[in-house]
Amino acid sequence: MIRGEKVDLIALTMDYLPSYLKWFNDPEVTDMLGDTRFPMSEGKEREWIEQQLTPKDSYRVFTIRTKKGKLIGNCGYNDIDYQNRYVVLGIDIGEKDMWDNGYGEVVIRTLTKIAFEELAMHKVELGVHSTNERAIACYKKCGFVIEGCEREHDFYRGGYIDSLRMGILKDEWLRLKKKK
């Protein structure tokens, strides 16, 4: 378990299947991920969790649990590159009534801290829809800067939209940490 402020990031178990099934069948949740999905069957979701139960070096998924014990979404390192020393973050608050409560921010801060302090990373990065202002503001608050724009990178609600790459380097993160 990774302890964060307000939330803990815990390992996946098959017990969480109902929550994952609910989140990943919610178009409002999954559309943001740049990946519109067909309705997900219980069998397919089970299969996906099963795969995560044999972890790989190259990516890792965690479940987000509030300190009160409620599962509210998932997050993780979508890509762990130990040679180039970067990770790509992914986050998804599946419980919509928990949006706008600052949970995303504490998750990003926690994942960033672990990446730098425990995984010896040089850089933490992520991709975000250019239209997702709420997320962009959150990432900026966490110290991420916009590094580039992938033009018309995602097909979203009937048209192509830009995707922004954002990132934070180790020394930038250290500077932010000192300021606090």
> Contact positions toward another protein, by CB under 8 A?
57, 82-85, 119-120
Q: Shortest approach of another protein to residue 11 CB, angstroms?
A: 17
Q: Shortest approach of another protein to residue 77 CB, angstroms?
A: 12
Q: Which is nearer to another protein, 22 or 170 (CB)?
A: 170
CA angle, residues 12, 17, 21, in degrees to nearest 5:
120
Q: Which is nearer to another protein, 78 or 132 (CB)?
A: 78
Secondary structure class of 24 (helix, strand, coil): helix
Q: Which is nearer to another protein, 20 or 86 (CB)?
A: 86
Q: Shortest approach of another protein to residue 74 CB, angstroms?
A: 22
Q: Which is nearer to another protein, 85 or 165 (CB)?
A: 85
d(CA 87, CA 105): 17
Q: Shortest approach of another protein to residue 82 CB, angstroms?
A: 4
d(CA 110, CA 104): 10
End-to-end CA gap in the chain: 25
Residue in the block written with tokens 């098959």? 14
The residue count for the chain: 180
